Each structure stands twice: as C-alpha cells, then as structure tokens.
Structure 1
Amino acid sequence: MVLGWGALGWAVPARAETARAETAHAVAMHGDPKYPDGFPHFDYVNPDAPKGGTLRQAVVGSFDTLNPHVVKGVPAPGLSAVFETLLARSWDEPFSLYGLLAERIELPEDRSAITFHLDPRARWHDGTPVTADDLLFSLDIQRRLGTPNRRQYYGRVAVAERLSDRAVRLTFTPNPDGRPDRELPLILGLMPIHQKAWWQGREFDRTTLEPPMGSGPLLVAEVDAGRRIVYERVADYWGRDLPVRRGLYNVDRVVFDLYRDDTVALEAFKAGQADVRRETDPSKWATGYDGPALNDGRIVMEQFRHARPEPARGFIVNERRKPFDDIRVREALGLVTDFAWINRSFFHGALVRTASYFPNSELAATGLPDAAERALLEPFRDRLPPALFQRPFTLPETDGSGPAGGRANLRTALALLERAGWRVRDGRLVDAGGRAMTFEILLGDPADERVTLAFARSLERLGIRATVRTVDSAQYQGRLDSYDFDVTLRFWASTLSPGNEQLYYYGSAAADQPGSRNIAGIRDPAVDALAASLGDTRRREDLVARVRALDRVLLWGHHMVPLFHSPVDRLARSTRLRRPDGVPLYGPLVESWWVGE
C-alpha cells in the first residue's frame, strides 16, 4: 500500500515491473562498507564483555521531557538508547550504516528510493513486534510534528509504500536539478521508530515525563524531572546478539544525576558519586582532579586522540538583528580580543584556536583554494570576498599580553566599524543617529562566563558595551529556538561525512525555522548551493573538496568569533570501569565499556 501524505487513507499502488535491487546488510555514503555481510561485531568493542553493574554519570543541565524528537522541552540525557533506529552507525568509518531494526535493505544504484526489511525478531519493550505500520507512523508523525531537521528531511519522501507487515519502500523527491539526493536513504536509515499503538490518544508534539514505548537496549526505570533519570538494561533485548550491538550496552543500570554547576558535578565524580566524566575544560583537567581518589588510584585520567571534526565553537551573532547583519561589524568583533592570553590564562595553553567549521579533520580548508575548490567557488565569485581567492583565511594574531594588547588589530577593527557607519564619541561607539552599540551575550552554562567576560571587556576598547547574562538550560534553549538573543556562545558539530544537515545548520531555508541549528541566521546562496551539493557526491575526494569550499565561504562570512577546540578527548573514569583496547575513528565510546573488578 502507499501512504499518500495528502490523502486520508490507504490505496493499492500499481506495481511497476522493474528489476529489484539486491538486498544488502549495509550502506556507505562513499565507497563500500568496511564490514562484510555476516561480520561478528565492530572492531572497537569487546564481544565478551561481562554484563552487570551500574554506570553513573554526573552531568550539567536539566530536562523536562522524555521525547527527544520534538521542539518543545529539554530532553533527558541517554534517551537515544531507548529508541532504536532502522540502521546503526559504525563509529570507525566516516559514514556507514548496518542493519538494526531493518535487517536488510534494497537500494537502487541511483539511491532514488530505499526498501527496509524489518528484522522479524525486532520487539518493543512490551513484547509486541515492530511492524511496517510503526515505521510509517513514525515517518508521518515526525514529518509533521518532529524537530525542524526531521521535518525537512522526512518531507523529501514522496511515496511510502507498505509492501508487507515487515517491508516498506520509500521513494524520494529528487533535488531541484532532477538528481536524487544520495544521502537521503542513509538519513532515513537513522530515523527513530515509535510504536504507533502507544501514541494513540497522546500528543506527540507535547513534552512528556511518561516514558514512551521503546525497542532499544535500555528502558526508562526512574524519573526525577530535571534532577535524575535511571535506565535499566533490557534483559531480553531482542537485538543483543546483532553484530551492531554485540559488546555494547553492558551495564545493568545507567544513572544520570543532573547538576546546574559543573564544579559541583566534578566534585560529585571525585567523591565517587559518578564513574566516568568527559572533561572539556583543560584547566580543570590540569588541576581539578587532585585529591584522594586520584592519589589512591580509584580514578584514572586518560587522553585519546581521534580523527573526527571537533565542534566549531565561538561567539555566534544573530544576523537577524542589527548591527550584526553587517559583515564589517561581525569581522570587527573578532579583532580586539587577545585569545592567546585567554588560552594561556584559562586553559593552560592546551587548546587550539579554531580556524574552520570542521576543525581537527581533513575537511578543514587550509591555504588557498585548490583547482577543485576554485571550480566550485567560481560561480559565486561576484558574491564572495575577493580575499577568499587571494589569500588564506587566518585569524588575527595576538601577542598574549592581555586585553590591552593588539593595537594594530584595534585600528583595523575601528576602520571596519567606521566604514559601517559607526564612530567612537566620548568613549562610546555610536551610529549616525547617536545610538550606542550595546548588546547582550546569552549563556546557558556558568562555566562559559570567564571567557565571555574577557571578550566583553575587550569590546569596551571599541566603545561597545556588551552585557553577559546566564540563564537556566530550559530558558536558554527556548530563547535559542525562537532566536531571542543578540550573541551567544554556542557551537556547530559535524561528522566526517557532512551532508544534508549542513543546510539545517547554515541554509537560508532554516534561518527562520524555530529550533533549527542555523543559529546565526545565515542567508547566503553560495552556502546553500555548496551545502546542497554534498549529498550528491560519490567519491570521498569530491566530498572533501566541496566541504572545504563550504568551509571557506562560512569563514569569510564572519558568522562567529571562533574560540578553541581540543585535538584530544579527555576522560576520567573509576577503575571499576573497563574499556576495550581499540578506540574508533570518532573517539572513545562509553557504551562499549563494562563494570569489572
């Protein structure tokens, strides 16, 4: 049957007499999957890891919903292990998916459609089977009421055909140029599946603290809204012996205790109230773990190098508001802060200044555009800064002397602001009408205050008054979703295989969608075209060239004042936790750890 999105019922389709694609166990975005059909397990797990014990984590934040797939509310941590997807990702490949709820797939060469064959063993936590009706319901409800990125991606499904109780074929709307989007089948493979029966009579787009029905390795056992959530391992989990699940989710109970302050969360870890902690603050890593637990050998500290892109983190400006719609103002804001001094003073010099939207990876643009990049950028030459073709993008050098240094950068910033119609008068930066430039920097984490205050003090040298305001996580997310901010300290995160999600991050169509990741409100035809082209690539080298070209356009657009990133993962853990020897391409995976003596 075919589910027509504009129809109210079901219709029997006319079956075309076309050759059926062979079924496959996996799909890679570029090239072939690493693991062959019938592989026993991923390389980065211990397939013989013992089951049992409790894994506790102390994390910062709050939550008010157990449905992470809608805009409303702040979801609890750990919910991804409750909701299974059709396919599972391998974390030691750029972008390859293997059978999970769908044991096999059919994919034509042009990827204009995909057929999912559900595993007959797949079960919900109540013991009932996962069916084609659940898949179709999940597609329909998330396409209408889900998060903006899901509405955007799932809206590309032109026809959903129910072939049997366990098989569904999805046919996609082609790109505007008529070609299929080669990434869409993989995006649909990562669609979370909801039980149709459970949601009858319930509102999908509302916040809820009632645990929804899941089919994953964990289920919600205890909920204390905003403070604590406990998951239990499903003892008879249907997928425990699948190659994509063997050696994963080994502990019986996973506990998240939530704190409003990271310093308190760290003390909880050191006091033995948590078993693992991912540290993002190098200063805390250098000095914050001293104490009896470390000295007695009850916790260990480890650093892991990885090859994934680090988040592009910085002060992101809201270009929907003046004066941030002027690129000269945006560029000037990044010229007066001594980031070398901040790195040394706050982070023990352990971080690297971010000069890419894909830092720490082969995707980052460096030097001048090569021939492949120039060919991609040439159609937009008249819209791009000439300097993009003439010199490498570089961050302004700072001397490390502190906020009072960098006079040359200050002169450059003042010249940019003057060309944008701003003048310093009586120590204040004012426009032609005498209105002073003032704005608020919105934060959701108190740990970000010291860097932000240093940035705000530097802006005073330009006559700009920037106030810093920290709000709770729910209010922060709400203001981000509605774009109710001037400047915020935030990030964009990407994988080694960027694709359609880049339009959700930076595309013009997402700029006014509430809750999208286009936080800055970027509207740039060059960005739109380059981001849209990523899903069409078949060769890895072509993808790399397109991402680097996109990176250059974003960098020269000055949509944020970049901060720093780390080339390593820093994890501290209790010695009662064990981990496999192998570390995947994307870094350590706590789901593969287990409790041991």
Structure 2
Amino acid sequence: MAANMRVLVQDDRAAKGCAALTGGFLAGALLLALSGVARAQDPTDTPTPAPDAAPAADAATAPGGDQKIIVAHGISTFGDLALPADFAHLPYVNPDAPKGGEISEWASGTFDSFNPYAIAGNAAALSSIFYESILSGTADDVSAAYCLMCTTMEYPEDRSWVIFNLRKDVTFSDGSPLTAEDVLFSHNLFMEKGIPEYRSVAGGKFQSVEVLDPYRIKFTFTPGTPFRDMPAQAGSGPIFSKKDYEEHNRDLEKSSLEPFLGTGPYVLESMRPGQQVIFARNPKYWGEKHPLNVGQNNFDRIRIEYFADDNAAFEAFKAGVYTFRTESLPKRWAQEFDFPSVKSGGVVKETIPSGNIAGGESIIFNLRRPQFQDPKVREALGLMFNFEWTNKAIFYGLFARTNSIWENSDMAATGTPTPEEAAILKPLVDEGLLPASILTDEVPMGSVSSEANALDRRNLRKASALLDEAGWVAGADGIRRNAKGEPLRMDMIHTRTDLLPVMLAYVENLKAIGVQASFELIDDAQLQQRASPPSFDFDALPTTVVNGGLEPGGVLKQAWDSIAKDNSSRNRMGYANPAVDKILDLVDSASSREELTNVIRALDRVLRSEYVVVPRYFKRDSWVAYYNMYDHPQNLPPYAVGELAFWWYNPEKADALRANGTLK
C-alpha cells in the first residue's frame, strides 16, 4: 500500500505525475484515507453503494464462455472484501462527526502549479485533492478497492477485463455530470501525456478501452499481462472533465495555476502563489452521503501555509499561524515541544502508532557513475554510515535501523533463503544471471557500528580492505585513486537542512577512508533538475527508494526494471538487472499473499546483495501536534493518521482556546 502522504512537501518528488496511477489501484484512490484528504465517494441519492449492487459478489456464466462473471461492489487483490455491499460507513470513522471549521498545515518552499501530473512546475501541496477515481481504498485494508463512482463492477475469474457500471449521480464540481466519456478521455490522456515512466510501464497493459453506454465502460487487458491487479488499476486513475479540458485548452504536460475540473469534495477557494492555499469543502459535493465518505471530509476549509524552512514553520506553529503539525525531527520532538501552549494543554502532543512499512530512507548511488560499478566499493561506502552513533547523538534514540527496503514488514528478507525463495532464485542462478552465493549467503544487513564514536574503527578497516580489493588504493596524501589516477569521489546533494548533521558526519567518515566526499545543500529547483531525467547530475543522494508499500505491484517496475533505467524519476540510481526484471514479472503474477511475500523477499535479497543503497533509518510512529480543537476516532486505522480525512473540528474547544488566548 502507499505510505502516509502528508501535506509536508516530500524531499523526494519521484512520485510526481503518477501518484494516482501506479502500484495497482493503490494510488489515486488511496490519496483518500492515506493522504489526510479523504476523497472517498458518496451518492446524493442513496446512503448505500448502489441500489442495484450485488449483495457481495455474485457470479454468472459468461456468454459464450466457461468463465464465470463476478459482479461485485469492489475487488480485493487476495481473498474476499472485508465490507459487504450494504456497509453503512468505514469501520474506523465516526459516522456522526460534525462538519465545519478549519484545519491548517504547512508546506515547505514554494509552488507555481496545481498540476501534480506534470514534470514541469512545482505543484502545490494537496493539488490532487480535486480528483477522484472510480474505485477507492481504505486505511485499514491494503488489498481492498471499493466502488466509489460505480454501482458495481463486472469481471471474469481471470480478471482479463473489467466493466464499471458508473453511478448516474456523479457530478463535477461545477455541477456537470460525469459519464463514461470522461473516464475514457482521462485514461487516454494519461496514456498520451502522462510522464514517460508511467507510460513505459503501463502503456502495454491495456488492449482496449471502450464506452458501452454513457454509464458503462469496459477495460480489456493485453494478453500475457498479469491480470491480478489490472481491474483495480483501471479504476484507480484520476478523472477529469473532458468538456472543461478541451474548452479551456488545458495541457496535462504543463504547469498551471488553474486546476483541472474534478469531482472531489474540495475546491480551490483562494491562493497566494508560493505563500498560501485554501481549499473549501464543496457544499454540492455529489458523494456527501456515500458510505465511503460518511464521517469523512469533515472540515469546511483546509489551509496550507508555506514557509522557507522547517525552523520558520515550527515558530509559526507555536504562534498559532497554523494548527496541525506532523513532526519529523527527533531533536525537536524530544526537546522543543515544551512551549507554554503544550504545558497548558492548549496544544496536544501525540504519538500515534503506525502499521506502515518503513519509508525506504536510504542514500542511493548513481550507478551511471564509473566509480560505483563495483559492489565492493558500494559495500565499503555503506560501512561508513554509523547509524548507532547518529541515532544516539542526533536522533535521541528515537529512530530504528533500516536494513531492508521492505523494513517493518514480513516482506523483508532474513537469514539464508527459505525453500520458497530458493525456488525463485535458483533458475536465475542456473541462467547465469545471479551468483550461486545468493542461495547460501545470509542477506546483508546494515552495518553495525559503535555508538560511542562517529567513526567506527572496525568498519573503517573493513571498508579499506574492500576498496583495496576493488583497486582504489590510498596514496601518500590519503586519497583513494584507481589505476588511472582518478580520485574516488562521492558528492551528495539535497535541499533538507535537517539532513546536514547526519550527512556531514557521514562525509567525515568517508574522508577517513580516502574518499573525496561532500554534501551540498541546494534549492528545490536545482534538486528537481539534477536528480531527474534526463540529467541525473549527482554522485549520491539521500532519498527514499520505492518499495511499493504493503502490497507492491506494478509501481516496482518504474523503480527497478531495466526499462526505467534512464527515464524514470523513481529509478534515479539507474538500476538495471535482467534477473530483477524477471523477479518483477513474478510480483505482478503472484496469486496469493504468501506467494507475493516470497517474491518480494527474493527481490529484497538480490537488491541488498548488490549494495545499491546505503540504508539509513525510519520512524516507527507518527509524531503529531495540534491545537486542542480537533477530535479523532478512538481507534485509528493502522495505515493512516488521517487528520484531513476523518478527524473533525470541535467548536467548543476552539472557543475555549480563543478565550484563554492560546489561539488568536
């Protein structure tokens, strides 16, 4: 599934342009409960998914064939749907949550566009809030996709096609009706103008898309494509108004301060470019009473305030300029949330357990660079990252070590290969695509270092020996050079000032083994240009690597398949391995959760054996602080904090804060 998506502008914009289109259905639809903006859907005519929806999942014999056609109110990747067709609301919401009030958060830097689907421009926070998909996910089930814009969906047992029976009450925010023509138009638009990394992976999966009538649309998938995720993927794309797009000469590939016309529960109220965005709840939203939306979309206004850096944003929070903050800095969480409003109870400081997979925080190598071709070099460089000292000295012991790209999940490889993993890996060994050692060696773990000193002498000796073996020998000046006399360089870049103490300590350790290392802070525009296709102008980059969430799907090909080596902002390292390409095919075709887990473990084992990333650390819990005028359900779902989705405003608490001067 997707990791929680916050209002905070992420340090990695790799997902830009395909956030709603990749990883099975789990993106567009799941910008819902996971982003904090619930874009679930609901009808104005009935409180249930559809008057003619199947009781659960009915089956009928396909005309002219022996496959049964399943008619259902949703679809699950593996197993049955948890919620019946007549469910009244999601299990984790308060169905009686009141509507009203405002919640405000912050974003970093600036913005010049409301088009999150283009490489061009810097999209505003929450700029996909205007759009919905046919299907919607939930924050407590990584496998489920339920009908939002459809009454039912029909598909054969092999999932080789799907028909969506669209609701007739869905309207765009201007009141115009949504029809199958808008769905077809939006699909074709992304196939023609979506970012290259999406088109290169998804383009060949759809054999045809046809409008059967104004409220029925059929997606047929290309023979040979693993069909497991395809019905959900077909229903996950954002849908725009064809009429509005054409009449206003809009362009998916260009930045624009005017959003496309969507069907979502929020519309743009006002903006000050680069400073502030305010979204208003649409009082005529078509889906207000839809079971997926009951208890959600509770705030009348969502306000985003922009700040140049995190320090300025924190001071603004203390002053009440905005009212909800997700904290990421351990030092601040440990030491600085002691200001008067916290002590008085006017601001709540809350740690919320998270069931999410770790975010893949790593330092990636640009594998296009000659100095990083040898795995021994990459292993040596990874040995010099001292997590234990970093966690104690900088993070107050609040972070956990990342070893796997799928850390904090049962998909992380451990020890030596299980028989199931070996069955996946051995054919690749037999083909000469993987070394035989992959079948017997324990999976590499992140280096273990002393927490007493930043430089661990034992790891220094190991790293030096590896570099010697790789032909990078230290000269009289201590600098490592190859046979051509070229120095071993590792220049790293990023925008985040909070990374500075971590990266500078790492740089000093690298210099201790003779690496000419540096870390440079640059601005957002420079990072976007240097870390994205076609330039890829960096040696190494602290970032997050794509793991596909708790139920990985097609998105992994955009990050790890050879086809994406030079055209994908998700594959910034330029990784390509024919063995991994074959394992990725098995990800899409896995027919059970157990099978998918074994495939991912095998994939994790191969990637870690090649030392393509330096694993860093992750935060097990969500740290949030907010002015004490918001309430949330007692039992939050495991995969989302959901403050913009299913929290609500308490006017009595807000009045009390204003009365005592906590809130202006």
Task: Say if 1:143 and 1:155, in contact at 8 Å, map to a contact too.
Answer: no
**Does 2:592 align with 1:539?**
yes
Q: Structure 2 residue aligned with 1:462, among 491, 508, 513?
A: 513
**Does 2:550 align with 1:496?**
yes
Q: Structure 2 residue aligned with 1:164, among 194, 213, 232?
A: 213
Task: Show CA shifts across 1:110-151 (max 9, x none).
Answer: 111111121111100111111111111111111111123432
Q: Structure 1 residues 321 and 181, CA, compared in 2 at 3 Å: closer, same or farther?
A: farther
Aligned twin of 1:415: 465
Equivalent position SS for 2:559: helix
Aligned twin of 2:661: none
Equivalent position SS for 2:270: strand
Equivalent position SS for 1:320: coil
For 2:276, give the aligned amino acid. Answer: R
Per-residue deviation, 1:375: 0.6
What are the equivalent positions in structure 2 for 1:78-477 lying under 5 Å apart? 78-151=126-199, 152-174=201-223, 178=224, 180-200=226-246, 201-381=249-429, 382-388=432-438, 389-404=440-455, 406-425=456-475, 426-477=477-528
Q: Structure 2 residue aligned with 1:572, among 622, 625, 635?
A: 625
Q: Structure 1 residues 38 and 474, CA, compared in 2 at 3 Å: closer, same or farther?
A: farther
Q: Distance in 2 between matches of 1:277 and 1:520?
A: 32
Q: Structure 2 residue aligned with 1:594, among 648, 657, 661?
A: 648
Q: Structure 1 residues 247 and 395, CA, compared in 2 at 3 Å: closer, same or farther?
A: same
Equivalent position SS for 1:79: coil
For 1:560, give the aligned amino acid. Answer: V
Task: Say if 1:121 and 1:129, in contact at 8 Å, map to a contact too.
Answer: yes
Q: Structure 1 residues 393 and 387, CA, compared in 2 at 3 Å: closer, same or farther?
A: farther
Q: Distance in 1 between matches of 2:198 and 2:155?
A: 21
Q: Distance in 2 between matches of 1:58 and 1:197?
A: 34
Task: Say if 1:138 and 1:194, in contact at 8 Å, map to a contact too.
Answer: yes
**Does 2:80 align with 1:32?**
yes
Per-residue deviation, 1:595: 0.7
Q: Structure 1 residues 460 and 386, CA, compared in 2 at 3 Å: closer, same or farther?
A: farther
Equivalent position SS for 2:465: helix
Q: Structure 1 residues 570 and 549, CA, compared in 2 at 3 Å: closer, same or farther?
A: same
Per-residue deviation, 1:471: 1.9
Equivalent position SS for 1:441: strand
Task: Show CA shifts across 1:41-70 (max 9, x none).
Answer: 111111111001111002223222111122
Per-residue deviation, 1:587: 3.2
Equivalent position SS for 1:347: coil
Task: Show CA shifts across 1:183-235 (max 9, x none).
Answer: 12212221011111111122221110112211101111112222221100011
Per-residue deviation, 1:16: 8.0
Q: Distance in 2 between matches of 1:119 and 1:496?
A: 30
Task: Say if 2:130 and 2:266, in contact at 8 Å, map to a contact too.
Answer: yes
Aligned twin of 1:563: 616
Q: Distance in 1 between matches of 2:360 and 2:571?
A: 13
Aligned twin of 1:553: 606
Q: Distance in 2 between matches of 1:349 and 1:465?
A: 30
Q: Structure 1 residue aligned with 2:539, among 477, 486, 495?
A: 486
Task: Say if 1:231 and 1:253, in contact at 8 Å, map to a contact too.
Answer: yes
Aligned twin of 1:512: 566
Task: Say if 1:64 and 1:76, in contact at 8 Å, map to a contact too.
Answer: yes
Runs of 4+ in 1 over 4 A off after TM superposition: 15-20
Q: Distance in 2 between matches of 1:465 and 1:181?
A: 48
Task: Say if 2:630 and 2:647, in contact at 8 Å, map to a contact too.
Answer: yes
Per-residue deviation, 1:160: 0.8
Per-residue deviation, 1:179: 5.3
Q: Distance in 1 between matches of 2:320 and 2:565?
A: 44
Equivalent position SS for 2:394: helix
TM-score by length of 1: 0.94
Per-residue deviation, 1:575: 0.8
Q: Distance in 2 between matches of 1:528 and 1:448?
A: 33
Task: Say if 1:95 and 1:496, in contact at 8 Å, map to a contact too.
Answer: no
Q: Distance in 2 between matches of 1:479 and 1:119?
A: 45
Task: Say if 2:68 and 2:157, in contact at 8 Å, map to a contact too.
Answer: no
Per-residue deviation, 1:20: 7.3
Task: Show CA shifts across 1:512-554 (max 9, x none).
Answer: 11x4301211111222122221121221111111111111111
Aligned twin of 2:18: none
Task: Say if 1:279 and 1:572, in contact at 8 Å, map to a contact too.
Answer: yes
Between the two proteins, the alignment pairs up a number of residues equal to 578
For 1:442, give the aligned amino acid. Answer: I
Unpaired segments ≥5 residues, structure 2: 1-61, 654-664
For 2:461, give the aligned amino acid. Answer: R
Equivalent position SS for 2:531: helix
Per-residue deviation, 1:407: 2.2
Q: Distance in 1 between matches of 2:69 and 2:640?
A: 35
Q: Distance in 1 between matches of 2:90 and 2:330?
A: 31
TM-score by length of 2: 0.84
- Report % sequence identity: 34
Equivalent position SS for 1:104: strand
For 1:196, give the aligned amino acid. Answer: K
